[in-house]
Amino acid sequence: MAEINAPNGKKKKNSEFFRVLDKVLEVTSVVLLANIIVLMSFQIVMRYVFDSPPTWTEEIMKYSLVWLTFIGSVLAVRDKAHVLIDAFTNKLPAKLQRVVLFLSNCLSILFLSILVIWGFRFARMNLSNYSLITKIPRGMVFSVIPVSAFLMILYFIRSMKEEK
């Protein structure tokens, strides 16, 4: 995001916020992917070399993959790499394309807002349910749903401001 010359510094702070958020999301996704690779390798060695596969690795890998998928979705929205069917809209005049894109973004924000609300309720409802092996509260695993939906909303709003 480009530097903004705002007298009150508000947009510059906004830019700094997204710069830090981008870094956190990127590092988190790399750590989660590395976690999956290391645990999978560990499980293979333990299973085929020592004939003693750990049971907890599969559960941790599954939860890491869920988090990685949702964080990857946030990064896709950030990079405008999310699914967008533009075969129809490309045939429209430029002004109408912007209107359709704006409406599409508004619908996405509406859907994501519902996902934040219901995802939060679902995560909170499952805080007292624990995974079988690692005893991790399932609500912690499901908390990625409202968190990622909220972050996607922020990136959609930023994108809409940039497209003005």
Tens of pLDDT along 101-129? Answer: 899 899 999 999 999 999 999 999 999 99
pLDDT category at 3 given cuts 50, 70, 90 is very low
% of the chain beyond a pLDDT of 70: 90
pLDDT category at 20 given cuts 50, 70, 90 is very high
| 134 assigned to some structural domain | yes
| 3 assigned to some structural domain | no
pTM to 2 decimals?
0.83
Compute the 3-state secondary structure of the chain and give helix, strand, coil in percent, each to the nearest 5: 75, 0, 25
Distance CA 60, CA 50 (A): 20
| Mean pLDDT (the chain, rounded) | 89
- Nearest residue to 38 via CA among 63, 60, 55, 23: 60
| 103 assigned to some structural domain | yes
| 48 assigned to some structural domain | yes
The pair of three-digit structure tokens given for residue 68, joined into one six-digit string:
């990685």
Residue 4 has pLDDT above 90, yes or no: no
Residue type, 17: F
Question: Considering its fold, how many domains does the chain have in total?
Answer: 1
Residue 86 has pLDDT above 80, yes or no: no
Q: Could you tell me the residue range of the domain that residue 117 belongs to?
A: 10-162
Residue 8 has pLDDT above 70, yes or no: no
**Helix and strand counts by DSSP (H, E) for the chain:** 5, 0
Residue 49 has pLDDT above 60, yes or no: yes
Residue 146 has pLDDT above 90, yes or no: yes
The confidence score (pLDDT) of residue 162 equals 84
| 94 assigned to some structural domain | yes
* Interval 150-159: pLDDT, tens: 999 999 999 8
Which of helix, strand or coil describes residue 137? strand
| 63 assigned to some structural domain | yes
The confidence score (pLDDT) of residue 163 equals 77
Residue 79 has pLDDT above 50, yes or no: yes
| 4 assigned to some structural domain | no
| 41 assigned to some structural domain | yes
Which residues make beta-bridge pairs with 137?
130
The confidence score (pLDDT) of residue 106 equals 94
Of 13 and 43, the one with more pLDDT: 43
Of 28 and 164, the one with more pLDDT: 28
